[in-house]
Amino acid sequence: MLVQDFLERSASIRPNKIALVCEGQRLTYAEIDAMANRLANALLDNGIRRGDRVAIFLPNSVLAVVAIFATLKAGGVSVVINSSTKQDKLAYILQDCEASALIANGRQMSIIVSMLNAVPSLKLAVHSSIPSDQRSDLNATISSNGRTSILSFDIIQTDFRSECPPKTNIDLDLACLIYTSGSTGEPKGVMSDHSNVDFATSSIIQYLENNEDDIVINVLPLSFDYGLYQLLMTFKFGGTLILERTFAYPAAILKRIEAEKVTGFPGVPTLFAMLLKMDLSKYDLSSLRYLTNTAAALPVSHILKIRDMFPSARLFSMYGLTETKRTLYLPPEQLDKRPGSVGIPIPGTEAFLVDEAGNRLGVNQTGELVVRGRHVMRGYWNAPFESAERFRPGLLPGERLCYTGDLFRMDEDGYLYFVTRKDDIIKSRGEKVAPKEVENVLYSLPGVLEAAVVGKPDPVLGEAIKAYLVLDGVQLTEADVLAHCRSHLEDFMVPQAIEFCSELPKTTSGKIKKTDLI
């Protein structure tokens, strides 16, 4: 199945059902399908061809949703870019993927103008609206470069036909490039073909037991694969998506969950940490059927508290990376027995551990997680060396395995436990220290809301262990924290320094950004 079929099939079966609630609008499947057809025809009529990359530089919005499916209907490859991305990084991504079109908010006209000048491959720009005082700048840019067309989305919706364009692609063609955060270097575009997306969505839908009655709220950016898949999955199973721009105002989101009777709530650890500070008794959240967490593992103490806060919902602790979309999930009935685990391979996939020589490891041994399945992506765009490092030959000729770069251990029942990233290991006093192990101890200290442990260069120790903590309204001293660590950790794992912070730096996907702490 092609990814655009998710929308088209639901529009055929349930045309009048509300598919999307966003920006004060309630749009049916038929309405979104028609809007996407008009934009797809506009893309085709302006030179976009099969395999061309279309950059979507927008916040969560109706236009962003329509643009994703319109790009696919036109046979193109969608590249959703976080709307907070700065100009230098935006230019890098557009140049790297050789984008043929840019769909953006007209209020960012200065950025659009700069991109038209900086990216020679751009032959079309689509905007939502342009302030009248900026139109002259745009017209001057277009006339000077002589190669770029520009269209208003509003005019497209009145002037272009609503019939679905002919399909030209197959499921081995690319559906999207998802650029990684670039916390360890330049961002890389993960190549995901239609079959990757089709398989991954079906597998996740299977274990979450989604159906057309589900109402999913998404506060995560569509540029983040976790956020993007909320849209793709919901349209595939024919549910309703409540699309929000941000979780900056959690009380408003909780009211929306109550009003819309939301059944599915995907989150990340930083989002759940915010909820743990709130009194939820004033909200009726009984409609929630499930909660999901990924991006980083939830501390055990948070898992238990969240489950108590949402007694009617099943909590799915999960693990994944953009290169495989989703890899592991913990069935909720296993939470009591294995609260520290992130589970077993998602349906239809396989995962195992290897040592540095590539030998398979067994029970209670720590090694790199290797993933096998149809959700293993095609590689990194325009980056053969990095692709060869991450995606290596598999068990069958022509097969790719994904080497995650993450260290895990496996219990006697096959459940997997995240230990640390291979490149996160701290070498202190000649010993190897997994930051996750120290962080788990810190989270067990009452009042610790967020914790991050990093290694700092030290002439004597090699690396000194430093912990950064965010507290939840309690009074703790460095001595209190160190005493707790000494009673729960081996001496070489006890931090040399503790720093209390009001907040920790985050990536756009909500992960704690340790590179800003080192």
- Asked if 12 and 164 count as a contact pair (C-beta separation under 8 A), the reply is no
Q: CA-CA distance, 458 to 455, in Å (whole number)?
A: 9
Q: Domain containing 344 — which CATH number?
A: 3.40.50.12780
CA 494 to chain centre: 33
Task: Write out the two tokens for 185.
Answer: 């270097």
Q: What is the pLDDT of residue 139?
A: 59
Q: What is the pLDDT of residue 183?
A: 40
Where is the domain boundary, 420, 436, 454? 420
- The pTM for the full model equals 0.85
Q: What is the pLDDT of residue 182?
A: 46
251 is in which domain, residue-wise?
247-420
Are 351 and 429 part of one and the same domain? no
Q: What is the pLDDT of residue 378?
A: 95
Instruction: Tell whether 230 is covered by a domain.
Output: no
Compute how many other C-beta atoms are within 10 angstroms of the C-beta atom of residue 33: 26
Q: CA-CA distance, 70 to 32, in Å (whole number)?
A: 10
Q: What is the pLDDT of residue 133?
A: 58
Are 451 and 303 part of one and the same domain? no
Q: Which helix (H) or strand (E) holds 259?
A: helix 250-260
Residue keyed to tokens 């050789």:
98
Q: Which helix (H) or strand (E) holds 315?
A: strand 314-319
Instruction: Tell whether 210 is covered by a domain.
Output: no
Extended strands (E) in 33-162: 53-57, 77-81, 101-104, 124-127, 149-152
Question: In the chain, how many domains are there?
Answer: 3
Q: What is the pLDDT of residue 106?
A: 81
Q: What is the pLDDT of residue 295?
A: 64
Instruction: Tell whether 46 is covered by a domain.
Output: yes
Listed as ranges, residues in the chain with pLDDT below 70 are: 130-147, 181-185, 295-297, 430, 460, 509
Where is the domain boundary, 125, 160, 190? 190
Q: What is the pLDDT of residue 507?
A: 76
Q: What is the pLDDT of residue 144?
A: 54
Q: What is the pLDDT of residue 427?
A: 78
Q: What is the pLDDT of residue 316?
A: 94
Residue 279 neighbours by CB under 8 Å, 6+ apart: none
CA atoms within 13 A on the CB side of 423: 6
Q: CA-CA distance, 225 to 326, in Å (whole number)?
A: 10
Task: Write out the two tokens for 366.
Answer: 């720590």
Are 412 and 447 part of one and the same domain? no
